[in-house]
Chains A and B, each alone.
Chain A
């Protein structure tokens, strides 16, 4: 039931922008709780990598006195990965194309992360 509700938030997020390729909600231990991924994406891999990046981001923000971590952004030649805390126990991972307008996507993703935090 909860997984369905989270999936519906992810589905709304993905359909809100053609530039969002995939999204997933992952526990801090790297377990994928719900996902809307493309068939060629490995759910376990996305989960483990996202949770690890978020952990390092958390530590980096603390070590460099940047306060509580809000989000991590990774940019590659083919696009972006955004990681946003969804409450204290999960992370929303959004996989985005390279030509995307990030401002709008950040807004939508933050809204989705808040909605997911309320469901957990």
Chain B
């Protein structure tokens, strides 16, 4: 599971977000039921993205490639691997999005879409109410975790590009106030 010994902020996030070992088991258990629907979720996701002029601009000329990339990411959430590699993969997304100038707004909106879509797939295909509740909780927690890791790295990369370290950023944000987390 998570290797977070030196990552105080991630530990705080996980403590409150509550994504735990039992959730990994839940996700592995529902994976065979959910995986067949992810292609359809991705198609709907892209239909929606393409309807927005500002987002569509970023997709031009590479829709098929991006669809494949994003579907691959969605499927990887069901692999049960939430260790160091998982963290690194999410962080890489934050970094790549800075390089291709995809703002966090787009990721936040996408995550919101996915939360609603995946909850709806669960309620349609997992009929046991307790299992559906547990699955929804686990999957939403996992999406929140991904978004935190992506956004955190996004900000870190932006600031690094300006030569501003995380320590300096926290100092800037908290001068005259009690020191906060980054």
Contact = CB atoms under 8 A, between A and B. Distances in A.
Interface in B154-182: 161-165, 167-168, 171-172, 175-176
Given A44-B171, A56-B162, 8 more contacts: A29-B167, A29-B168, A30-B172, A42-B175, A51-B168, A55-B168, A59-B161, A59-B163
A72 interface: no
Give the dominant DSSP class at B's interface.
loop
Contact of B175 (A28, A45, A59): A45
A-B complex: 3 closest residue pairs judged by Cβ atoms: A55-B163, A48-B171, A30-B171
Give the dominant DSSP class at A's interface.
helix
Interface string A59-73: 100000000000000
Contacts of A28: 165, 168
Contacts of B165: 28-29
Contacts, number: 41
Contacts of A30: 167-168, 171-172
Interface residues of B, number: 11
Interface of A: 28-31, 42, 44-45, 47-49, 51-52, 55-56, 58-59
A30 B159 CA distance: 14
A47 B174 CA distance: 12
Contacts of B171: 29-31, 44, 47-48, 51
Contacts of A47: 171
B163 A45 contact: no
25 contacts: A28-B165, A29-B165, A29-B168, A29-B171, A30-B168, A30-B171, A31-B171, A42-B175, A44-B171, A44-B176, A45-B175, A45-B176, A47-B171, A49-B172, A51-B168, A51-B171, A52-B164, A52-B168, A52-B172, A55-B164, A55-B168, A56-B162, A58-B163, A59-B161, A59-B162
B1 to A, nearest CB: 32
Given A30-B171, A47-B171, A48-B171, A42 B164 contact: no
A59 B159 CA distance: 11
Interface string B100-140: 00000000000000000000000000000000000000000
Contacts of A56: 162-163
Contacts of A59: 161-163
